[in-house]
Amino acid sequence: MKTIRRTLPVIMACCVALATACATTKAPTRAQEQPPMPATTAPTGAGRAAMERIAEYVADRERAMDCLIGVSFADPANGLSADYRADELFHAASTMKVPVMIEVFRRAEAGEWSLEDKVPVDPNFKSFLDNTPYVVDARGHMEEMLGQEETILKIAEQMIVVSDNLATNILITMCGAANITGTMRGLGVDRGYVLRCVQDIAAYRNGFSNRMTPGGLTRLMQAIENGEAADPASTAEMKRILLAQEYNDMIPRLLPDDVTVGHKTGSISGHRHDTAIVYSPDGTYYLTVMVAEYSGASEDDPNDDPAKQAVSDIALFVHETRSALLR
């Protein structure tokens, strides 16, 4: 086992130019966007109608909530898919931690490090924008490890399972944001990008945010499940981590007990997202739901969150529609 010393990224002019171009690609707003035409595929007339019902259900929910909702459902084994705003960019929140995890494992596969190598747990970072120093909040296990060293594997687990931001920044710094985005492109994700570490307020205030599309996240989940994202041992480990997710109040919440979900959530003010591999008794499918520009969550009751409820309801509707079609 060796110790890897992380270094803060140096912002080069070409990187800033690329990031500026990405940052000017804005996520949709209610004032700018009309509801999209639903995109569906199915092998039969009945299947096509069922997929269209999914898109119509999402559109109705979007109108009722006065927000934006993006959905990407894919069941390749049965030739089923339903998309609603699937190619539109949303503020990624913590869903961008999925491509970070993929890049970490690919680098280990390439021999750049071992997942058992240890790195310093240091909460000090510099802004992507102007190198302004800032400190990332540390919680739980990562807080306990401040000033010490932890394995890359444990840090990756913390990034996904409890969505730890300090763990995320350590790994983005090691991998490089541009490399993470490049790996996404190589896996067939044409839109979406990781520009910076999290809690970088200076960059955020100047419009530099990580963004993902529902379709891109669903594609990454397929790549993990199918073994395209990395070698079989690495993708098996990624699936183990996704299945250990501790925040289960969106896609998994209303699904039957015999359904298992490996997933990654993302939450930030006005946004609630979840992207998942869903293991059902009748087969595996993929689902991403992203809710943006909503209001109405209770400040007193964390369980009173209409956006989380919408994600759960959409997930249940998709599951029941698919199950009925396959009977």
The domain locations on the chain are: 40-88+213-327, 94-191
Q: C-alpha dihedral over 309, 48, 278, 312, to 10 degrees?
A: 0
Determine the CATH number of domain 40-88+213-327: 3.40.710.10
CA neighbours closer than 13 Å in the CB half-sphere of residue 40: 21
pLDDT higher than threshold 50 for residue 132: yes
Confidence (pLDDT) at 228: 97
Where does residue 281 rank: exposed (0-12), middle (13-18), buried (19+ CB within 10 A)?
exposed
d(CA 158, CA 8): 21
Mean residue pLDDT across the chain: 90
**This prediction's pTM:** 0.89
Binned at pLDDT 50, 70 and 90, residue 44 comes out as: confident
d(CA 139, CA 163): 10
Six-digit token string for 213: 């599309």
Confidence (pLDDT) at 294: 87
Confidence (pLDDT) at 46: 82
8 Å CB contact between 218 and 85: no
Tracing tokens 């595996």 back to the chain, one arrives at: 284
d(CA 155, CA 48): 43
Superfamily of domain 94-191 in CATH is: DD-peptidase/beta-lactamase superfamily (3.40.710.10)
| 40-88+213-327 and 94-191 have identical folds | yes
Nearest-5° Cα angle at 230, 2 to 15: 75
